[in-house]
Copies of this chain bind each other. A is one copy, B any other.
């Protein structure tokens, strides 16, 4: 939410030298350097941050990618890797004197083994395309971020993407077996493998969620799982959010792991319903969507148990999807919450924090109080099962002061998340948006450990610089601002 950054002065001669070097490595249609061509790459889903890059490279082969990184390393040109650009934290925002490397042209499914239940795919394969290819074998790839029609597997790897089913089926980390990547010095490194526990350090886990800072993906081997024959979802209404929050805890405490467990507050429900007609209870203070999937008998039994638990926990009404069409309709409201906010308000700011499930009521009350403080409305959708909260702050950037108030409102929400023992991002990543908040989340020793690991992969700090991990200088400056009374208090206690 900064103004567009002015391109820093880069000597024309150096720019020409870099382009000349890259032209020798890529076919002409794989290198974009005119503004009209690079414009579509100036931002990702965090559209408030924009920057034109020096050039955009779209390699078609691993060999081209290796040559590209070797050349950029030699010339000290910073790199921003990019998937489909659907990220929400500015992780793929270009830098003026750097190259964007898009892996969009490397989009083939290389192998699909229904027996081993794996698929080996190139980085630019779309998330949903994997499940589409696997459907012939009644298999699918589980993580389902809302952007799954567009987002690519390498982007999912960079962000450790989840989705509404991650409580039961896990994040990208839990569904990827191996990553083949090119390091900043142009070497191939393979991480992970087929074994449950690979020897050596678990660098696959470090790589997944590293936001393009450790290498550029050239192949991903994903796990496929059998498509459950049946799924049904319960919509439960609650007269207040505290009861709803407690019901979430009760479901988990009953030993049930729902395939999805989502909560929406009244503001969200009323925002979505006229637009989507999902059949939501607009009189409820909050609704819960609680899904079961599996073999039909298991689903029926689990739906029954969930219903009992929810009613015992104080649900005022319950509806169960009677058909696949109705199930899709129940979900459509949740999945369209962000577009609905866009219809209702000229601008909205989607936050992404996590909290311990049991602190939900407290955090929602805190956010309600902040609505008064900042004079802005906020709708809350919540991946309740895994404690990932998405407050949508609505504002009008054309009204003087609203933009700033929205930004401060967002910072205050994240501060509250950390204060109750949560984190500053659940699934959208740090990118450039939350780089300062990292200084509040982690101690200096912890940030230093991150930097050390980053250095192990990219000693020259050329890969996606100034994203995801703050420098220690930045944290020191942040600490000084907080000492003068910034909104985001350094609340983490060692041992808390």
Q: Flag whether A403 is at the interface (Cβ < 8 A).
A: no
Contact between A449 and B456 (Cβ–Cβ < 8 Å)? yes
Interface residue from B443, B446, B456 paired with A453 (Cβ < 8 Å):
B456
On whether A423 and B453 interact (CB within 8 A), knowing A202-B173, A206-B205, the answer reads no
Cα–Cα, bound, A449→B116 (Å): 28
Q: Flag whether A354 is at the interface (Cβ < 8 A).
A: yes
User: Please, which residue of chain B has its CB at the minimum distance from the CB of A424?
Assistant: B199
User: Please, which residue of chain B has its CB at the minimum distance from the CB of A198?
Assistant: B423
Contact between B255 and A453 (Cβ–Cβ < 8 Å)? no
Q: Give every chain B residue within 8 A of A425 (Cβ-Cβ).
A: 199
Please, could you name 23 A-B residue pairs with CB atoms under 8 Å apart, sorted by A? Answer: A162-B196, A167-B196, A194-B356, A194-B387, A194-B421, A195-B388, A196-B386, A196-B426, A199-B423, A199-B429, A200-B438, A200-B446, A200-B447, A201-B210, A201-B453, A201-B454, A201-B469, A203-B206, A449-B456, A451-B456, A452-B457, A453-B453, A456-B456
- Chain A residues packing against B (C-beta within 8 Å): 115-116, 160, 162, 166-167, 171, 173, 180, 183, 187-191, 193-203, 205-206, 208-210, 226, 249, 253, 255, 297-298, 301, 354, 356, 358, 386-388, 421-427, 429-430, 434, 438, 441-443, 445-447, 449-457, 468-469, 494-495
Told that A173-B202, A194-B387, A199-B434 touch, could you supply 19 new A-B pairs with CB distance under 8 A?
A: A162-B196, A190-B446, A195-B387, A195-B388, A196-B387, A197-B209, A199-B425, A200-B442, A200-B446, A201-B206, A201-B450, A202-B208, A202-B209, A203-B450, A205-B206, A226-B255, A452-B453, A453-B453, A456-B456
